[in-house]
Chains A and B, each alone.
Chain A
Amino acid sequence: KNEVEQSPQNLTAQEGEFITINCSYSVGISALHWLQQHPGGGIVSLFMLSSGKKKHGRLIATINIQEKHSSLHITASHPRDSAVYICAVGQGAQKLVFGQGTRLTINP
């Protein structure tokens, strides 16, 4: 069993839909990260959180430390949101353990 599990692995939705991607982890963490990777490779860090909730534009990330669970929400989804979303947990100051990623496709 992976230390970081994401669901779903693949998600296809229509433009405008509310999107939720889930991440569960089984290890102690210093922080949890949500990353976005577009085709072509570049990775962008979306959020780093250790408690509660963070919001940036149409993106919202939440974490429940007791339940070892985090969610990434996208409101009013758009085709440009199509990407792979990766959950990663920090172990210590510098090591990240990655989930397998969720491939999101938003159709116009």
Chain B
Amino acid sequence: DTEVTQTPKHLVMGMTNKKSLKCEQHMGHRAMYWYKQKAKKPPELMFVYSYEKLSINESVPSRFSPECPNSSLLNLHLHALQPEDSALYLCASSQVMPGGETQYFGPGTRLLVL
């Protein structure tokens, strides 16, 4: 299984809603990532988990809350988002190697905040 899955594919939420994005991989990867991508822009790194511990937080607003319950699962909890948070949210995973490793990306969740 060389796949990273993400659910839901699409999400529409109001600014007062609470929702969660889910990411799953069964490749035995111990690093997992959340990226945000706006239209016609490259992905921006949000968070990295390494061995289920948060290792990188790129100064993301607290309305985004990541969680890594086990080595296969990564969640992104959303609360009180703003319309400018509308974007494609990509999850990725990789092995943990000193020189870096190939990242495997999921198909993304397209989020619209009204």
B59 CB, nearest partner CB in chain A, Å: 13
* A43 and B31 alpha carbons, distance in the complex (Å): 17
Interchain Cβ contacts within 8 Å, total number: 67
Residue A75 is within 8 A (CB to CB) of chain B in the complex: no
Q: Which residue of A lies closest to B109 (CB)?
A: A41
When the two chains form the complex, which single residue of A43, A50, A88 contacts B90, counting CB atoms closer than 8 Å?
A: A43
Q: Is the CB of A93 within 8 A of B99?
A: yes
Q: Is the CB of A98 within 8 A of B31?
A: no
Q: Give the interface size class of chain B.
A: 20 to 34
Residue B17 is within 8 A (CB to CB) of chain A in the complex: no
* A93 and B90 alpha carbons, distance in the complex (Å): 19
Q: Is the CB of A45 within 8 A of B42?
A: no
Q: Which of A72-93 contact B (CB under 8 A)?
A: 86, 88, 90, 92-93
How would residues 24 to 42 of chain A score, 1 for a CB under 8 Å from any chain B CB and 0 otherwise?
0000001101010000111
* A23 and B37 alpha carbons, distance in the complex (Å): 20
- B97 CB contacts on chain A under 8 angstroms: 93
* A86 and B94 alpha carbons, distance in the complex (Å): 18
How would residues 36 to 68 of chain B score, 1 for a CB under 8 Å from any chain A CB and 0 otherwise?
010001111100101000011000000000000
Q: Please list 14 pairs of residues, one from A and one from B, whose beta carbons are closer than 8 Å in the complex, sorted by A's number.
A: A31-B99, A33-B102, A41-B90, A42-B107, A43-B43, A43-B105, A45-B103, A45-B104, A48-B101, A93-B50, A93-B97, A94-B50, A94-B94, A98-B43
Chain B residues with CB under 8 Å of chain A are: 31, 33, 37, 41-45, 48, 50, 55-56, 88, 90, 92, 94, 96-108, 110
